[in-house]
Amino acid sequence: MVSVDGMEIRSREIVALLGPNGSGKTTLLNILAFLDAPNSGEIWFGESRLNWAQVNLQPLRRRVTLVARPPMMFNTSVLGNVTYGLRLRNVSRNERRVRAQRALAMVELQGFEHRAARKLSSGESQRVALARALVLKPEVLLLDEPTSNIHSDFVPQIEALLRGLVNDNGTTIVFSTLDPDQALRLADRIIDMHDRKVERERTAEQA
């Protein structure tokens, strides 16, 4: 469970941050990823209240993964990008390759391992960034408009993949979107945002 000044993200749920550009969705995702401190209020992760001045946030950051928009590709191969976080965690070379290939298959990029990551299309880059997050098996997955550059034909597969992460792995997912229909299709709960504030929270059934 993650709580930000009264707004609670519960384990094993999908939460949509819905609102126009500039409404504060990306800022909130950065706070949830422990990258930016809030201007006011408190953040709790589980039973622990974060003290930004005293706590080493690196262990928490390894439990939460943010897929930013636009995704940054390292100047190496697709395989090098997807295995980057695993190398930092001292995962063996063989296991890195196996996990990377599995993650690339999940986003239907089999055979892309040796392509130059910075020469991919925007949609392919977005899928590589998602695979790079999936190999880490985070407790909390944060996604900034995860299908914004992906061809509409592939959006249902990505949404099904995200739902499967919750059902199969117990992953908690928070994603931002401009699309009310996507929020209704995918989220258990919707947080409407405007002018960098939470306007209301509702379930899909209440929409």
Q: Is residue 34 domain-shared with residue 130, that is, in the same domain?
A: no
Residue 6 lies in a domain: yes
Mean pLDDT of the chain, nearest integer: 91
CATH of the domain at 184: 3.40.50.300
Q: Is residue 131 domain-shared with residue 158, that is, in the same domain?
A: no
Q: Which residues contact 13 (CB under 8 A, 6 or more apart)?
A: 166, 172, 173, 188, 189
Q: Which domain holds residue 96?
A: 74-137
Give the residue-averaged pLDDT of 73-94: 97
Q: How confident is the model at residue 37 (pLDDT cuts 50, 70, 90)?
A: confident
Tell whether the model's pLDDT for residue 3 goes beyond 60. Answer: no
pLDDT of the residue at 5: 58
Residue 33 lies in a domain: yes
Helix (H, G, I), strand (E, B) or coil at 32: helix
Q: What is the DSSP letter of 70?
A: S
Tell whether the model's pLDDT for residue 16 goes beyond 60. Answer: yes
Q: Is residue 203 domain-shared with residue 187, that is, in the same domain?
A: yes
Give the CA radius of gyration of the chain: 17
- How far is Cα of residue 25 from the mean position of the Cα atoms in its chain? 13
How many structural domains compose the chain?
2
Give the residue-averaged pLDDT of 139-144: 97
Tell whether the model's pLDDT for residue 4 goes beyond 70. Answer: no
Q: Is residue 16 domain-shared with residue 114, that is, in the same domain?
A: no
pLDDT of the residue at 1: 60
Question: Is residue 93 a contact partner of residue 147, using CB atoms and an 8 Å limit?
Answer: no
Q: Is residue 54 domain-shared with residue 143, that is, in the same domain?
A: yes
Q: Is residue 110 domain-shared with residue 144, that is, in the same domain?
A: no
Question: Is residue 115 a contact partner of residue 78, using CB atoms and an 8 Å limit?
Answer: yes
Tell whether the model's pLDDT for residue 34 goes beyond 60. Answer: yes
Q: Is residue 144 domain-shared with residue 59, that is, in the same domain?
A: yes
Q: Which of 89, 122, 137 is the last residue of a domain?
A: 137
Question: Is residue 190 a contact partner of residue 183, using CB atoms and an 8 Å limit?
Answer: yes
Residue 84 lies in a domain: yes
pTM: 0.93
Give the residue-averaged pLDDT of 62-81: 95
Residue 79 lies in a domain: yes
Give the span between the Cα atoms of 93 and 166, in whole angstroms: 28
Query: Other C-beta atoms within 10 Å of 20: how many?
Result: 10
pLDDT in tens, 96-127: 999 999 999 999 999 999 999 999 999 999 99
Residue 69 lies in a domain: no
pLDDT of the residue at 118: 97
Q: Is residue 5 domain-shared with residue 44, that is, in the same domain?
A: yes
Tell whether the model's pLDDT for residue 151 goes beyond 80. Answer: yes
